[in-house]
Amino acid sequence: MEAGRVREKEELPQKAEELSDYIVVIRPGSWIAISLVLSVLLIFLAWSVFGTITLTVQARGIVRNGIVITYLKEEQLSLVSNKSTIYLYDNESSCFGTFSRINNIPDSEQEQRIRLNDDTYSLYILNEDEEAWLYYSEIRPDQEMADGPVNITIETEPRHPISYVIQ
């Protein structure tokens, strides 16, 4: 019998056993596609609940008297916390660090100049984007570092992907 064809009254099954020959809800090949899609969805759901995502923030800093001074942009500040893992590295060494101070109020250009003793080189290193609001932060390295510029990589706290959806 052809699929999609309208059946006449005489062609309809006379017994209940013949009914399964006429009714095909889902073909066997479709079950494979449905089970594949459901498997992918279940794997994604499991990862979103049990997996983690760690974001990184890149910044520049200046080492002065054993303390790393940096300015973070607003979007960077929203990602970091005192629990973030901090990597400090320059041409000669690398080490870990911890935040000793994170300001929640941005510094004006005048406040930046005062904090950096009007050092134009430090202002240039730390203020790459003159249009952004910059938040003063201090990092304490876990070992001695020479004064000068330093690169900073901050890893945020690991978060479950589902937490981005359910807040």
The structural domains of the chain, with segments of one domain joined by +, span 9-50, 56-159
Structure tokens belonging to residue 141 = 């390295």
Q: How far apart are CA 38 and CA 36, in angstroms?
A: 5
Q: What is the pLDDT along the chain (167 residues), one digit of tens a residue?
A: 455 555 565 666 666 666 666 666 777 788 899 999 999 999 999 999 999 999 999 999 999 999 999 999 988 998 898 889 999 998 888 999 999 999 989 988 888 888 888 888 888 888 777 677 889 999 999 999 989 999 999 998 888 999 888 87
* Block residue for tokens 């000669």: 92
> Domain spanning 56-159 has what CATH number?
2.40.30.170
Q: Which two tokens stand for residue 50?
A: 């049990």
pLDDT for res 37: 95
Instruction: Dig out the tokens for 97 from the structure.
Output: 């660090």
Query: What is the phi/psi pair of residue 145, to 5°?
Result: -130, 145
pTM of this prediction exceeds 0.75: no
Cα atoms found within 13 Å of the Cα of residue 105, Cβ hemisphere only? 2
